[in-house]
């Protein structure tokens, strides 16, 4: 769904404005339901439409908790995941951890 990297500022209330070019397709494809989580390698956030996140979540659940690198990936991506909804004006609000 998303292409390229977009620098989007998060305000102090935990809101971010989704770029205009993605808004309508997000409303059409997933009713604006999004999941935000941390990137494990960079200082940034990752944003996924809910159906895409559910596929990632399924893959993460199949990783071994006995392998430290896989356990860390599960802990970070799942532990910091926050679900929210984009409103009609293109603003996404999620709970900050």
- One pLDDT digit (tens) per residue for the chain, 97 residues: 567 777 787 888 878 899 898 999 999 999 999 999 999 998 888 999 999 999 999 999 999 999 999 999 999 999 999 999 998 899 988 665 5
- pLDDT for res 60: 96
Q: Quote the CA–CA distance of 60 and 86 in Å, as a whole number.
A: 25
- pLDDT for res 15: 85
CB 73 within 8 A of CB 63: yes
Which CATH number is 15-92 given? 3.40.1550.20
Where would I find the beta strands (DSSP E) of the chain?
15-17, 33-38, 45-49, 82-86, 91-93
Strand partners, 15: 93
Q: What is the C-alpha radius of gyration for the chain, rounded to an integer number of angstroms?
A: 14
Residues whose CB is less than 8 angstroms from the CB of residue 30 and which lie 6 or more positions away in sequence, other chains included: 49, 50, 51
- pLDDT for res 2: 67
- Residue 25 sits at the vertex; the CA angle it makes with 19 and 27, to the nearest 5 degrees, is 95
Largest CA distance in the chain: 44
- pLDDT for res 97: 53
């Amino acid at each position: 769904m998303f292409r390229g990297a977009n620098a989007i500022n998060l305000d102090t209330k935990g809101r971010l404005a989704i770029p205009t070019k993605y808004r309508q397709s997000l409303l059409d494809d997933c009713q604006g339901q999004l999941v935000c989580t941390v990137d494990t390698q960079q200082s940034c956030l990752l944003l996924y439409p809910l159906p895409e996140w559910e596929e990632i979540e399924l893959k993460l659940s199949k990783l071994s908790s006995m392998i430290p690198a896989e356990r860390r990936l599960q802990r970070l991506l799942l532990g910091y995941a926050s679900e929210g909804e984009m409103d009609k004006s293109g603003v996404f609000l999620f709970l900050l951890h």
